Amino acid sequence: MEAVFLVAILIFSVVLHEVSHGWVAFSLGDPTAKNAGRLTLNPIPHIDPIGSILVPFFLILTTGTGFGWAKPVPVNHFNLRDKKYGAAKVSFAGPGANLAVAIVFGLFLRFLPIAEISPNLISIFVSIVYLNLILAVFNLLPIPPLDGSHILFTFLPPALDHIRIFLSQYGIFILLFVVFFFFRALLPIINFLFQLIVGF
């Protein structure tokens, strides 16, 4: 039951992540996600059967940690009014939404008498904060196809274009290496942010 509950939190957080991409793109003039029916918190249009259910459920069941993905929200960057920074704004929207959720529920834990209302709420809120911090930090890594790579490419000067080419060619292999061998190195950052927000 705990694994099912954590998967449910992860699905909602990933869906919010993707919807945020679509809403920012729509606000900047691109209706692609809206026309595809992806500007909804209903998880069904966003669910990838493997990335949204099977992988996170298996990982939570075996390792106690969650990892997953949803169907990427379609974005046509040619429609964005902000040609210079539009791609970066759309890319940051997903991790930014996860960070906002972590901050809101973290501040609830910090300042409201959650334990007096229901002791079970503490573990629920802790899971929401921690999973959303994982999503935010992980997706901001500058490795394709993660959001951080699009932000990096937006600000990368032409003189460093060889970095963009290298990451575009080998990003998926670098990402797999990070997931399997380097992910624990992110935990100090995630734990620091958690303590900064929640206070414990």
Asked if residue 136 lies in contact with residue 18, where contact means CB atoms within 8 angstroms, the answer is no
Least confident span in 27-41, 50-64, 120-134, 184-198: 50-64
Encode pLDDT of 74-130 as tens digits.
999 999 999 999 999 999 999 999 999 999 999 999 998 877 777 788 888 999 999
Query: Which residue do the tokens 């959303």 mark?
Result: 132
User: Higher-confidence residue: 69 or 194?
Assistant: 194
Predicted local confidence at residue 68, as pLDDT = 65
Decide if 116 is catalytic: no
Q: What is the pTM of this model?
A: 0.89
Q: Which residues touch 24 (CB under 8 Å, ≥6 apart)? A: 89, 90, 93
Given the residues 13, 17, 18, 28, the one annotated as active site: 18
Give the torsion sign (CA, 180, 181, 182, 184).
Answer: positive
Are the C-beta atoms of 21 and 73 separated by less than 8 Å?
yes
Distance CA 4, CA 20 (A): 24
